[in-house]
Amino acid sequence: MSARAPAAFPDYDPIKTAPFRFRTVAGKTLITNDLGRHHLLDDAEFRRFVAGTVPAGTPLHDRLLKDGFVRDRMDFDALSAQWARRNRFLWDGPALHVVVTTLRCNHRCLYCHASATPITDTATDMTQDTARKVVDRIFETPNPAVTIEFQGGEPLANWPTVKFIVEYAREKNKTAGKSLWLNLVTNLSMMDEDKLDWLLERGVNFCTSIDGPAEVHDRNRPWSGGASHDETIKWFKAIAARTKGKTFRVDALLTVTRLSLEKPREIVDHYAEIGARGVFLRPLNPYGMAAATWNKVGYGPDEFLAFYKAALDRVLELNKERGLRRPFFEQTARLYLAKILTDDDPNFLDLRSPCGAGIGQLAYNWDGAVYTCDEGRMLNRMGDDTFRIGRAGEGSYAETVGHPTVRALTVASTLDNQVSCSNCAYKPYCGLCPVQCYKDQGDIMGRMPTNSRCKISMGVLDLLFERLQDRRHERIFRSWLKKKKNDGAVAALYQRG
């Protein structure tokens, strides 16, 4: 809210009340500020706050003062330090580097975002010469932390290049001295004991897709070798057993399709049964095969939110049954809650302003072409090369990250430049993907009042703030945020959806 008093609050005192945004949530008024601080106030408290008449020395006044809501008593040094801590990623440069070792895949997922090619088509395998140039470009980033994420297709279809990149990156890092994370995103169907031993010896993290019970997973993710669910679960459990207690491990992602909508509780229970630490409920994105099969697998924001509510409530039930010593999290909520309840932004690239495209991540196609992000690379497969910003081995790192397209996406994803976002109470916790805006709405700036992703984000945040009003739920949520020794690996795996 600006310093101009809204008509509904004629007693607004801009001298005593610091700038804030507000929204009604479950009968209370949520106020937030750019520090990410928030309070839920009843009607009388809100009116006193707006008028600047909350009595000094009361608990409410002390909390408002500490969190930067009292304008005439602001500690600018402390508040500036808090803002800088939450936004320190802005000075670091790209941390996430998505490397597509091949477009080949032995699955034919109904929603394949990557537009994979047949497993026999080796024309899109990254060569080791290209891989060397890609790794060289990656290590030019000034960021002290680097995550190399193998994507595809199925990366293991080009096993020699995966091995080369792992070894070459580890060798270069002996000199660079960065915090290096290596993540393999794989359907696990091409895994074997020799590959697993090799990867585990080098501390590689694993991330796979599990779309729920077999009846959902196998329909979403057909595999030429048989039942994809059974094979995935076999290797997931094997890797989980061998990485227990280690800083590197295996995690799984869920892509919600129309087939998922009627099974929220079953999906959550399935993740708990296989020993997962939590579940990541991600809406379907309109890239690749998903765009062509949307009538079959897609849905609207309201349908996803109904699914999400039922699934989150089941997650909360599980936590009550298991106790706080064995938390089971929902990752979308966990990412938002880190922003809401702590001063440490998890740097999840889809939920930051500006977004990570070009300044937080880069994507390297099999041929060495560099894109602002993996979504930009996916659009290339759909015949649109708008978000290509260079090629590994050509030009300089500065030319790549300073490309006009990167600058445009940075401006478009800065929420202060969005009329709706700049006034939204959820601005401190949100972010937008200008590439998805471009795909859905034909403009990288997007139009938030009709943006499906915006509606989903607001619905999820409404739900979380509703649940936060219950102290039992707040204790559960806080248990999801406790620091553990493998949090670095988790953060690396979840830098984006």
Other CB atoms within 10 Å distance of the CB of residue 26: 13
In a domain? residue 2 = yes
Alpha carbons within 13 A on the beta-carbon side of 382: 20
In a domain? residue 98 = yes
Same domain, 195 and 46: no
Same domain, 160 and 234: yes
In a domain? residue 369 = no
* Helix (H) or strand (E) segment spanning residue 41: strand 38-41
CA dist 239 and 166 (Å) reads 18
Residue with tokens 């079953």: 266
In a domain? residue 12 = yes
State the CATH number of the domain containing residue 238.
3.20.20.70
Same domain, 160 and 44: no
In a domain? residue 431 = no
In a domain? residue 311 = yes
Residue 392, judged by CB atoms within 10 A of its CB (0-12, 13-18, 19+), counts as: buried
CA distance from start to end of the chain: 31
Same domain, 135 and 2: no
Three-state secondary structure call for residue 96: strand
* pLDDT value, residue 497: 40
| Residue 131 tokens, joined | 């891989």
| Residue 402 tokens, joined | 């300073």
Alpha carbons within 13 A on the beta-carbon side of 353: 21
Same domain, 195 and 338: yes
Same domain, 62 and 175: no
Three-state secondary structure call for residue 380: helix
What would the pLDDT profile of 233-270 be if each residue is shown by its tens digit?
999 999 999 999 888 789 999 999 999 999 999 999 99
Same domain, 152 and 272: yes
Containing domain of residue 9, as a range? 1-68
CA dist 367 and 124 (Å) reads 7
Same domain, 32 and 103: no
Alpha carbons within 13 A on the beta-carbon side of 105: 23
* pLDDT value, residue 39: 97
Please give the backbone phi and psi of residue 187, each rounded to the nearest 5 degrees, phi first. Answer: -85, -5
Same domain, 95 and 49: no
Three-state secondary structure call for residue 456: helix
In a domain? residue 398 = no
Phi-psi region of 227 (alpha: psi -120 to 50; beta: other; left: phi over 0): beta
* pLDDT value, residue 75: 82
Give the torsion sign (CA, 295, 296, 297, 302): positive
In a domain? residue 464 = no
Same domain, 341 and 248: yes
- Which regions in the chain score pLDDT beneath 50? 1-7, 486, 488-497
Number of domains the chain is built from: 2
The model's pTM: 0.93
Indicate the residue among 18, 33, 68 that finishes a domain. 68
Same domain, 138 and 243: yes
* pLDDT value, residue 10: 66
Same domain, 138 and 245: yes
For 291-409, where are the E strands, in sequence order? 329-330, 361-364, 369-371, 388-391
Alpha carbons within 13 A on the beta-carbon side of 14: 7
